[in-house]
């Protein structure tokens, strides 16, 4: 079991942000939401650890962020 990393753990923050913004250029809101979903599923598959994924899902909910 992997523990979910919630502290900054990447390099090239600005480049990643720009790539994410570019990912949505020219898309409708529905296409953009579908793109987010596909990206999330690809990354979840890459992670592959169910417990870490469950932790991320729990933390992503608005109520969890406020707590």
Residue from 23, 43, 19, 46 nearest 33 by CA: 23
Q: Rounded to 5 degrees, what angle do the CA atoms 28, 30, 31 make?
A: 65
Distance CA 3, CA 52 (A): 6
Spell out the domain ranges in the chain: 28-66
| pTM: predicted TM-score of the whole model, two decimal places | 0.80
Per-residue pLDDT of the chain (67 residues; tens, 9 = 90+): 688 999 999 999 999 999 999 999 999 999 999 999 999 999 999 999 999 999 999 999 888 665 5
Report pLDDT for 29: 97
**pLDDT value, residue 2:** 80
State the Cα–Cα distance between residues 13 and 15, nearest whole angstrom. 6
Provide the token pair at 11: 């390099």
Q: What's the pLDDT score for residue 20?
A: 96
pLDDT of res. 63: 82
């Amino acid at each position: 079991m992997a523990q979910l990393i919630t502290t900054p753990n990447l390099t090239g923050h600005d480049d990643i942000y720009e790539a994410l913004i570019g990912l949505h250029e020219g898309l409708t809101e529905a296409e953009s939401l579908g793109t987010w979903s596909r990206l999330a599923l690809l990354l979840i598959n890459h992670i592959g650890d169910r417990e870490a994924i469950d932790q991320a899902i729990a933390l992503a909910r608005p109520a969890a962020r406020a707590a």
